[in-house]
Structure 1
Amino acid sequence: MVIPDSGATSSAATSSGDGNRNIIVTGFMGTGKTTVGRRLAELTGRRFVDMDDVIIERGGMTIPEIFAQKGEAGFRALEAQVCRELAAQNGLVIATGGGALVNAENRAVMQAAGLLVCLSATPDALWSRLESEAAGRPMLANGDWRGLLEKRRAAYDEITHQVDTTGKTPDEVAQEIIELWHQTEST
């Protein structure tokens, strides 16, 4: 499977200061990565790519099935490959999986590929968003999402640009990221 590249170009073909760099949205599950990413793509006229969707297509099964058959290590290997392939393109809005950039190498690859923004939310806001989705999220299987958040916090804190989504609409968050994008592209 080829990573969707309609409307995107290879990073070798464009310079990083031309406004065509990727916008990458990451953060813990339930922070709004996919929803905000889709809205960003609409507002900027870019193609939206959800890494989890690419992994599902590439793996030929759902994420819970990949975890069940290949384990977390197999899933993370596929995720790292997709991360590198997406980072090699430009002009995309990319929503990563919640654990994709916990790996320092993946984080560095995406940081170099464009504007990397980590979304966050308060624990209460996260729970209200996650409580009905546990069945489709393998990392919630044991029910200790707060422990998982704490384990990932240091990696998330390594990301320069942080946006709290608590109490904000997807449009508000998207506009905040667009402002960051304009600021970073003009420097």
Structure 2
Amino acid sequence: MSGISIVGVGNMARALAARALAGGNAVEIIGRDRVKAEELAGTLDGVTVGTAGAAPAGDIVILAAPYAGAAEVVREYGDALRGRIIVDITNPVAPDLQGLVVPDDSSGAQEIAGLAPEGAHVVKAFNTVFSHVLAAGPAEGRPLDVFVAGDDAQAKARVSAFVAGMGLRPWDIGGLAMARALENVALVELGLMNHSVKHTDFSLGITLLH
């Protein structure tokens, strides 16, 4: 069991909180709008509500907010995130859905890592899973895959164990530089949504052939 602090009050925050609770974790919801945070917590038995800007209760802090907002959260929290594992689930997608708004040699996760205090470890995960798919979980006997990238092996192992405890299947894809690849996978999903699949009731994952 882990202590999980989720920063955000949207659909991904709700899906992550519900699955984390089902996995036996202690869950805290933090939102700039405390009323919305309390409303969300009220729909999930056992969730606590934290105070925006104060030190999170969890040792794993999930940034369940749009990229710009997530980066601002890390700036504001500063040393309160020291020693924490920061899970970046964001996709810094350009308005035209054709690229990313971060430098060509970087990613949203790497930019967030540059803002994090010394001793915090940023791990990329969950950015390729739509919120309603995450909430529903595995379908038709197929596991739901979550890709994990990060530079600290212990932090990745902790996040992978958290993912597995939620009934999902974690895949380590390497260091944090691979986060850009994951963010491009999100662009692929948006392209599928807009041009061929025409909906978001799908997930991308791994099929082992032997």
TM over 0.5: no
* TM-score computed with the length of structure 1 as normaliser: 0.39
* TM-score computed with the length of structure 2 as normaliser: 0.36
> Which structure exhibits the higher relative contact order, with contacts defined as CA atoms closer than 8 Å and separated by 6 or more residues?
1
